[in-house]
Amino acid sequence: MITASLQLGNDSSISATYGLPCPSLPTGSLLDNKYLSTTPLLQIIDSNIGELSNKDMMEVLRATIEAANALNTASELIPAAMSLNSSVKTELQSYEIEVDRSKRLIDVIRSQISLQTSGVVAGIRMIQSHGMLLGEDLMRIKQKDGAYLKKTLEMLRTQRMAVTQQVRLATVGLSKSDGTIRVQTRIVESTNKAVKTALGNENGLVFATFLAKLKKAPDTTGEIRLTNREYEKLKALQFKTTHPEMDIVSTDVKTRIICNCLAKDQAIQILGFVASDLWAEIAFVKIEGLIATDQAIQIAQPVSMEVFLEVLDRQEKRIAIGRVKELN
């Protein structure tokens, strides 16, 4: 029983995932039994299918701009930091390489609209956060040793690789309507070329590789169509690419995977179970890439109904206070 989830909670929404071991990703009341599930499930939520709202598009664009600013600041500080603390010059040279790679990643997302999805926002924000921390470290470079700098560098590298993975998994040019799955091959080809140029040939789109192996000729409009079976194979390939460790986990083992979930504004996002701890029988759990920004609350573990109601009450009071301040 496997679930891979990617979820975005925003505004003042309440969203949750729960079931046995994990159902679909509802947005609404946690108390509604229609969200309960007891059937085995393989679910990959593809944030690249469908158009983003104007607000979400602006959010992605803003995230790339702010992340680029943080990285550019760090990049400009590195040479000066080297001269101030020559004992960590080797570590700072590694920083220079990693910051440059992160900047190229942000730039390709910024230049390719097809890569600008709600799914990459969380990762971009993490890169921005680590870039800002790096800038602060460089301002106090005389107080930092090599071990500390290596640790900070590894955090930036880990997040950069996570976002790179999301880019590689993007199903650009794919649309679903009336039961038909269409792919605009020109979009796939141009985006894949841009990604390879920026990130290296080894980081090309998984989707492009998948289509190349299918060897389907596009029609006169440049489209090809995927059968449901081919689409299922694509999802399985994406899942294997994202979670290679699952190759060594028995299919009989109950598994829960929660990755790349972003809660923002004043959202409450519960990624565990409420009232009942249904994780007790789950043998393999993977949780990574979770981010809560602004005044959002995100919980990735089972909670009691008492805790949930307390969180809900606290958030309602916070929102009420905010509205009073706005009126005044």
Write down the pLDDT at residue 65.
Answer: 92
Q: Mention every residue, 6+ apart, whose C-beta is less than 8 A from residue 160.
A: 98, 101, 102, 105, 127
- pLDDT tens profile 230-273: 998 888 888 778 777 767 666 676 776 776 677 777 777 777 76
- pLDDT tens profile 276-294: 666 666 767 777 667 777 7
pLDDT level of residue 20 (50, 70, 90 thresholds): very low
Q: Sign of torsion, CA 195 196 200 202?
A: positive
pLDDT level of residue 68 (50, 70, 90 thresholds): very high
Write down the pLDDT at residue 274.
Answer: 72
Query: DSSP secondary-structure letter at 35?
Result: G
Write down the pLDDT at residue 300.
Answer: 75
Write down the pLDDT at residue 223.
Answer: 93
Query: What percent of the chain shows pLDDT beyond 90?
Result: 23
Query: Helix 206-214 crosses helix 185-199 at what angle (to 10 degrees)?
Result: 130
C-alpha 2/C-alpha 169 separation (Å) is 18
- pLDDT tens profile 97-126: 999 999 999 999 989 988 887 667 777 888
Global pTM reads 0.67
Domain 58-165 sits in CATH at 1.20.120
pLDDT level of residue 12 (50, 70, 90 thresholds): very low
Q: Domain ranges in the chain?
A: 2-46+260-327, 58-165
Q: Where are the alpha helices (DSSP H) in the chain?
A: 54-84, 89-111, 118-139, 146-168, 185-199, 206-214, 228-242, 305-327
Q: Which amino acid is at 171?
A: T
Residue 299 pairs in a beta bridge with 270
